[in-house]
A = this chain, B = another copy of it.
């Protein structure tokens, strides 16, 4: 049996339908579906995606079977349209368009007006009585065909500006100039006829061969070009970015041409069955009389509004289709209603009116903003068009983001040119005056100014300035750099890694070289606007629109939770974060990082004491003359260490208590201290002196001990539980803080649910070692305060070995929480801080599908996670398992976590709704 490659669609006998997207591509499948619905689709046929694969496999040849199938389908088309292809009397013209499974806008080729040649032109002239139309169509065919079929598809790569299309454009421009025309429409039939002659001469000159004058040659050339464009540079590059497999292939849609430019009774337009920006249930679109589809999109003529109800200040003086062609508008509106009823979703449609007759050229599910997606979903649910599950599935989790942050007005941004781009680290928009230091940000903010903090890169000392700023812009750092992590945690607009940004800190100035050769220079106090969702920076103030206060948001999220089975917690380090996250629906804290309390708390004291503790831990006992003296010196140092550790106790306890209170009744996972010690050693001489004075040592000793703490690979150094192994006092102090804080809250009638989490575990022995302290302190505090404090004891799983030995680890750990940041680092051997040196090479060469720090690498890291889940639950069947890495807020990662049977994901507060939606969709997809 030979494979069927060609599928007819049209008034009678349509062979495909909307379910056949894989075979017919999105465009072909929808054309077939519309034709089946009886909508006025110009007849045509689709050559399937399977043929695309075969075409390349067979060395770009058309087998005879295909030719026969095409001939048969073309006969049906001719019959349906009442015209014949290549017929000198009443010629049928065809379009050849690509159409892949998923939309690849503008990435592949189209050829229109195929079939015009010396034998068919006179017939068409007669039939339309419009010579100008015919020669304009022929002009367009030559331009398009010579470019697409004769040049690109033959892999000819001309020098810049030397492509055939450019040269033809040049001829046309010269003609218009000579004649004094400004618009293409001013060209007469004779002008165009003459131009076509010149065009054909130029084609021979440039490409070395004649423009084909045979309709069959034109048709097969166009079909071949469409298929070849699947392997064209742009398409291949786009597929890499969008992860579209090369083996999918494109279909080729060959369809009868209809013309919106046959006079005042013809028109063309595009429309959405509802407003794609707001979701409003009003027919929305644009149209032009006597025009071809490309004219609407090209932006040369301002298109007219579709109807009266959707006119806006810019187009209210223009005629609507509703008033200009009321009967055709009624027909079109009827089509709109039928399509929505049929597809149960908002449709994006293209139509052409040829001499008073409506034709449907395309329909597809319309793209929409997050706001529109949410509004439509909830309205269609109310209308009974869709059910609850469908409504939940209708909003892409990432789209929720725009509902949570202020954004730049899209219209305003459309007309603005960014002077700098970087990585979109914190979503939304922000506008403010440039400041260059954290202190300035705080000071300017206090006096009521909105500021953007611009830094080379940020570090913990910048945190207060970051909080005070509307947005953050840095020259260095990646998506998981300090600035990015902190900003996302707060839902703050942030752009990092803007490599072209040069900062002159002393002069409080910045400059950015422009590709055009110029340079943008700005200084402190100048206004800039950030688009943190796209990573664009604009000079001046662009109009902002406030975070949507859509009342449907809450309702939608309630609906989402109806289907969600996996928990969603938040990563929060302060009571304020906890409160924000709780409002966004967080069901607890999955990661409370003790060390984050040491900065941004409005007081220098805890940070100072932490630094002091680090210094004292690094101290060595002086060597004494006798053994007794030596022992005494060591004992004294041990006591000094313990005192320095316990200096932090009141702050740690206060911070934990406030957070437990803010999350009253919900679990709070408190991770033991895991600070990069050497980062906490003050770098500046003032702070070094301060610390030295407090310790009674010389400032150079502070510097020296800082250097001693330096590690070659700190990420794999003396951190996490390893600190507690070396300095058990540090663990004890924290455990005591947790139990005292919780016990006091219980005494006050609250319901704290602390969970102690040990970081960087690689062996159960570490957990057992720490558990001794945990049990001892628990008993001590419970005895002293007379209350029982329930507290789970668990661990981060962030070291590959912990996954491999998860069965042993689960014997002691009551819960696991995957730290996918570190797990990804170790599994790949990729340092998050250094990946910038090669990640782009990997992504651009397609060696990696995605940045594994953004979305979980399911193949590798995911394999370890699944292993740990299976082994862990095998050893302890009620083991609670979550994830608290950055990827916890990434929809694809949330879906993976659901499939891996995790109990919950934890993410930054502003990603909690996104995670809730992603989790609900995963459950629905799994048939829940």
Binding site for B on A (CB under 8 A): 160, 513, 515, 517, 623, 625-628, 711-718, 722, 725-726, 760, 762-763, 765-766, 769, 798-801, 804-805, 822, 825-831, 833-834, 837-838, 841-842, 845-848, 857, 859-861, 863-864
Q: Is the CB of A726 within 8 A of B827?
A: no
Q: Is the CB of A718 within 8 A of B837?
A: yes
| Distance A763 CA – B850 CA, assembled complex (angstroms) | 13
Partner of A804, one of B798, B842, B863: B863
Q: A716-B716, A725-B842, A760-B829 are in contact. List 19 more A-B contacts (CB 8 A).
A: A711-B831, A713-B714, A713-B716, A715-B716, A716-B825, A716-B834, A718-B838, A722-B842, A725-B841, A725-B845, A726-B841, A762-B830, A762-B860, A766-B847, A800-B829, A801-B828, A804-B860, A804-B864, A826-B827
**A715, A800, A829, A833: most-surrounded residue (chain B CB, <10 A):** A829
Q: Is the CB of A822 within 8 A of B831?
A: no
| Distance A714 CA – B837 CA, assembled complex (angstroms) | 11
Given contacts A860-B762, A860-B804, contact A829 B833 (CB under 8 A): no
Which residues from B are CB-within-8-Å of A718? 834, 837-838
**A517, A713, A805, A859: most-surrounded residue (chain B CB, <10 A):** A713
Nearest B residue to A829 by beta-carbon distance? B799
Which residues from B are CB-within-8-Å of A711? 831, 833-834, 837
Given contacts A762-B860, A805-B859, contact A838 B800 (CB under 8 A): no
Distance from A312 Cβ to chain B, minimum over Cβ atoms (Å)? 39
Which residues from B are CB-within-8-Å of A825? 713, 716
Write 15 A-B pairs (CB below 8 A) sorted by A numbering.
A513-B623, A517-B626, A713-B713, A713-B831, A715-B829, A722-B841, A725-B845, A725-B847, A762-B827, A763-B847, A765-B848, A766-B847, A801-B829, A801-B857, A801-B861
Q: Is the CB of B712 within 8 A of A762?
A: no
Q: Is the CB of A837 within 8 A of B801?
A: no
Which residues from B are CB-within-8-Å of A726? 837-838, 841
| Distance A861 CA – B711 CA, assembled complex (angstroms) | 23
| Distance A160 CA – B715 CA, assembled complex (angstroms) | 44
| Distance A837 CA – B725 CA, assembled complex (angstroms) | 11
Distance from A478 Cβ to chain B, minimum over Cβ atoms (Å)? 12
Which residues from B are CB-within-8-Å of A722? 837-838, 841-842
Given contacts A713-B715, A715-B712, contact A801 B822 (CB under 8 A): no
Which residues from B are CB-within-8-Å of A799? 827-829
| Distance A763 CA – B838 CA, assembled complex (angstroms) | 14
| Distance A659 CA – B712 CA, assembled complex (angstroms) | 32
| Distance A830 CA – B712 CA, assembled complex (angstroms) | 11
| Distance A827 CA – B804 CA, assembled complex (angstroms) | 9
Q: Would you list the 9 A-B pairs with minimal beta carbon distance, nearest first?
A: A716-B831, A713-B831, A712-B833, A718-B837, A801-B860, A717-B834, A765-B847, A711-B834, A799-B829
Distance from A602 Cβ to chain B, minimum over Cβ atoms (Å)? 29
Q: Is the CB of A762 within 8 A of B838?
A: no
Q: Is the CB of A717 within 8 A of B804?
A: no
| Distance A828 CA – B763 CA, assembled complex (angstroms) | 9
Which residues from B are CB-within-8-Å of A845? 725, 769
Q: Is the CB of A833 within 8 A of B801?
A: no
Which residues from B are CB-within-8-Å of A804? 827, 859-860, 863-864
Which residues from B are CB-within-8-Å of A863? 804-805
Which residues from B are CB-within-8-Å of A830? 716, 762
Which residues from B are CB-within-8-Å of A859? 804-805
Q: Is the CB of B712 within 8 A of A769?
A: no
Q: Is the CB of B712 within 8 A of A714?
A: yes
Given contacts A513-B623, A860-B801, contact A829 B762 (CB under 8 A): yes
Distance from A641 Cβ to chain B, minimum over Cβ atoms (Å)? 14
Given contacts A718-B838, A826-B826, contact A765 B831 (CB under 8 A): no
Nearest B residue to A624 by beta-carbon distance? B517
Distance from A391 Cβ to chain B, minimum over Cβ atoms (Å)? 39
Q: Is the CB of A833 within 8 A of B762?
A: no
Nearest B residue to A725 by beta-carbon distance? B841
Distance from A750 Cβ to chain B, minimum over Cβ atoms (Å)? 37
Distance from A578 Cβ to chain B, minimum over Cβ atoms (Å)? 29
| Distance A317 CA – B474 CA, assembled complex (angstroms) | 87
Distance from A769 Cβ to chain B, minimum over Cβ atoms (Å)? 6
Distance from A486 Cβ to chain B, minimum over Cβ atoms (Å)? 18
Q: Is the CB of A846 within 8 A of B717?
A: no
Which residues from B are CB-within-8-Å of A765? 846-848
Partner of A769, one of B763, B834, B847: B847
Partner of A800, one of B513, B712, B826: B826
Distance from A841 Cβ to chain B, minimum over Cβ atoms (Å)? 5
Distance from A620 Cβ to chain B, minimum over Cβ atoms (Å)? 10
| Distance A863 CA – B802 CA, assembled complex (angstroms) | 12
Which residues from B are CB-within-8-Å of A763? 847-848, 860
Distance from A748 Cβ to chain B, minimum over Cβ atoms (Å)? 38
| Distance A769 CA – B861 CA, assembled complex (angstroms) | 22
**A763, A834, A864: most-surrounded residue (chain B CB, <10 A):** A834
Nearest B residue to A861 by beta-carbon distance? B801
Q: Is the CB of B712 within 8 A of A831?
A: yes
Q: Is the CB of B864 within 8 A of A717?
A: no
| Distance A845 CA – B863 CA, assembled complex (angstroms) | 32
| Distance A834 CA – B627 CA, assembled complex (angstroms) | 30
Nearest B residue to A717 by beta-carbon distance? B834
Distance from A553 Cβ to chain B, minimum over Cβ atoms (Å)? 40
Nearest B residue to A709 by beta-carbon distance? B837
| Distance A725 CA – B846 CA, assembled complex (angstroms) | 11
Q: Is the CB of A829 within 8 A of B828?
A: no
| Distance A152 CA – B822 CA, assembled complex (angstroms) | 48
**A160, A517, A825, A848: most-surrounded residue (chain B CB, <10 A):** A517
| Distance A623 CA – B514 CA, assembled complex (angstroms) | 10
| Distance A813 CA – B345 CA, assembled complex (angstroms) | 49
Q: Is the CB of A762 within 8 A of B801?
A: no
Which residues from B are CB-within-8-Å of A861? 801
Which residues from B are CB-within-8-Å of A769? 845, 847
Nearest B residue to A846 by beta-carbon distance? B765
| Distance A441 CA – B921 CA, assembled complex (angstroms) | 70
| Distance A848 CA – B763 CA, assembled complex (angstroms) | 8
| Distance A760 CA – B834 CA, assembled complex (angstroms) | 15
| Distance A711 CA – B861 CA, assembled complex (angstroms) | 23
Distance from A421 Cβ to chain B, minimum over Cβ atoms (Å)? 15
Distance from A367 Cβ to chain B, minimum over Cβ atoms (Å)? 31
| Distance A830 CA – B716 CA, assembled complex (angstroms) | 5
Which residues from B are CB-within-8-Å of A725? 838, 841-842, 845, 847
Which residues from B are CB-within-8-Å of A834? 711-714, 716-718
